[in-house]
Amino acid sequence: MANLVFSDQEFQRIADLMYGAAGLSFNDSKKSLIHSRLAPRIQKMGFGSFADYIAMLEDESQAAEFQMAVDLLTTNETYFFREPKHYDLLQQELPQFANKAGLSVWSAASSFGDEAYSTAMLMTDLQTAGRIGPNWSILATDISHRVLLSAKEAVFPQDRLRAVTPERLRRYCLRGEGPSEGQVLLQDKIRQRVQFGQLNLCKPFGGLGPFDVIFLRNVLIYFDPPTKVDVVDRVLSLLKPGGLFFLGTAEGRVPCKTPLQTVIPGAFRKAA
C-alpha cells in the first residue's frame, strides 16, 4: 500500500470529517494508522488516490461508505446488543411497563442506530410472543446529521451484528451480495419502528417524552464534569418514575442529582 500517497492536507480533511460527524479525534500521530486502515479499502474500491475516496466520504449520499470508514478507523465500539445483560433486563422488565398508553424508549446518543435497532428487534420479539402490545415506540437522537443519515439507511457492516442471534438475523436482516457483500440491510419492519432526530444534549430541549426507558451509553466521556451532571439530569427529567436508565457499564456512578437506584451494573431505576 506504500504507493498510495497520503498528504498532510488529506489527513487533515479526514480528521476534520471524522471529528465533525462522529466525534472521533485523530491527532498527527494517527496519520500512519489512518493510511494503513483505509488504503486497502481505497484500492479494493478501485480509487487511485486518497483524495478521490475523501471526496466520496464528503458526499452525504454515501452514508453507508462513510460508516464503513468509521468502522475501519475504530475498534467497533458500537455494535448490536452491546452489553447483553442490559437487554436481558429489558426483556424481563418491559412487559411490566406495558399499559394502554404504550411503551416508549429513547436512545439519547444513538450514533449509527445499533442500540435503537437492537431494542426494536427485542421489542418486536416480545410483541410477537404476546408479552407487550403493538403500541410501542423508539426515538433515537444524535448530534450528527451525517451519522443520522447513515442510521436511517440501516445498512451495517456484517461484523457489527456479530452478537445478533441466527434467528434474529433470519427474521430481521438481509445479507448483501456482489458489491454489497459484507453488509447487512435491516428489514422495513425493524426500520419503521425507530424514529430518528437530531439533538444536542448540551442545549435545552423540549417536546420529548416522557419515556419508560432511556439509553445514554458511552457519550458522557466527551463532556466535562459540570456538563455531565447538567446533561444527565435534563435527560432524566424525561424518564417516568420507576423507569429504567442505562449508562455504559464501564462509566461507573451516574453524575446527577436525580435519585436513582442501581439495578445491575450500568442500569438504574428512577425513584418513584
Q: Is-catalytic flag, 37? A: yes
Q: How far is CA 216 from the centre of its chain?
A: 10
CA distance 11 to 144: 21
> CB–CB of 113/140 below 8 Å?
yes
Q: Is-catalytic flag, 131? A: no
142, 191, 212, 230: the active-site residue: 142
Q: Which three cell numbers stand for residue 96?
A: 411490566
37, 41, 171, 269: the active-site residue: 37
Counting DSSP H helices and E strands in the chain, the numbers are 10, 10
> CB–CB of 219/201 below 8 Å?
yes
Backbone dihedral region of 255: left (phi > 0), alpha (psi from -120 to 50 degrees) or beta?
Answer: beta
Annotated binding site for S-adenosyl-L-methionine: 76, 78, 82, 115, 142, 200-201, 217-218
Backbone dihedral region of 179: left (phi > 0), alpha (psi from -120 to 50 degrees) or beta?
Answer: alpha
Catalytic machinery residues: 37, 142
